[in-house]
A and B are shown apart, each in its own frame.
Chain A
Amino acid sequence: EAQVTQNPRYLITVTGKKLTVTCSQNMNHEYMSWYRQDPGLGLRQIYYSMNVEVTDKGDVPEGYKVSRKEKRNFPLILESPSPNQTSLYFCASSLWGPQGYEQYFGPGTRLTVT
């Protein structure tokens, strides 16, 4: 089954404790992306990747890191989480860039930073 998986689905952590949210897709997609969803703000892109070792900033990259060492995986790293990073996070992938290709979203990771 074609899918985007994220782990963990729920995470409660404390300020400053490094964490990684994993994202994996099994569709051989080139493009992968991370978004956060906040009430009243909609979906905002954090980082995206056009291919292995190629990443670029989205609208809200501050406080986040990503890596794309393999085509199927695109982890989101929070080196020193803060309460303002409490949010619902979505990973997505598509065959190529957003111009012409729909993105497939994962189920989401709800992160709470206390």
Chain B
Amino acid sequence: DQQVKQNSPSLSVQEGRISILNCDYTNSMFDYFLWYKKYPAEGPTFLISISSIKDKNEDGRFTVFLNKSAKHLSLHIVPSQPGDSAVYFCAASASEGAGSYQLTFGKGTKLSVIP
């Protein structure tokens, strides 16, 4: 059972436009969410995160939105740049009170930013 879903395997966007990457989750115990970016032949690198007590977190060109009732989050990149071309992974974890320190990832979305 896939608890974190990224339903779009790939996305192409023109340079300068907005990229929107989506992520859905099914486990209601998840309360902390992260986005990682991965270039080929490298390990993933942390991009941005959000706690369930917030509905938005912003860091420069990157903004993550969380809709708890819909169990949906999205990553917005504005403006998109060719260097943003990578695979983006959504990840989620439950609260420490749940007794688990597991981190669950989605399958990833490959973003291609076209110059």
Given A42-B108, A90-B44, A98-B34: A103 and B103 interface contact (C-beta under 8 Å): yes
Contact of A99 among B41, B46, B95, B108 (CB under 8 A): B95
Question: Are A40 and B107 in touch, CB under 8 angstroms?
Answer: yes
Question: Are B105 and A100 in touch, CB under 8 angstroms?
Answer: no
Question: Are A43 and B105 in touch, CB under 8 angstroms?
Answer: yes
Could you mark each residue 74-105 of chain A with 1 if its beta carbon is under 8 Å from any beta carbon of chain B, else 0?
00000000000000001010000111101111
B45 close to A (CB within 8 Å): yes
Contact of B51 among A40, A100, A108 (CB under 8 A): A100
**What is the total number of residues of chain A having a CB less than 8 Å from a CB of chain B?**
28
Question: Are A56 and B101 in touch, CB under 8 angstroms?
Answer: yes
Alpha-carbon gap, A99 to B106, bound state (A): 17
CB distance from B101 to the nearest CB of A (A): 4
Question: Are A43 and B43 in touch, CB under 8 angstroms?
Answer: no
Report A-chain residues with C-beta under 8 Å of the C-beta of B45: 105
Alpha-carbon gap, A98 to B49, bound state (A): 11
CB distance from A111 to the nearest CB of B (A): 15
CB distance from A25 to the nearest CB of B (A): 12
B32 close to A (CB within 8 Å): yes
Report B-chain residues with C-beta under 8 Å of the C-beta of A43: 44, 89, 91, 105, 108
CB distance from B18 to the nearest CB of A (A): 24
B31 close to A (CB within 8 Å): yes
Question: Are B43 and A106 in touch, CB under 8 angstroms?
Answer: yes
Given A90-B43, A99-B32: A31 and B105 interface contact (C-beta under 8 Å): no
Q: Which residues of A contact B (CB under 8 A)?
A: 4, 31, 33, 35, 40-45, 48, 50, 56, 58-59, 90, 92, 97-100, 102-108
Q: Which residues of B contact A (CB under 8 A)?
A: 6, 31-32, 34, 36, 41-46, 49, 51, 89, 91, 93-96, 100-108
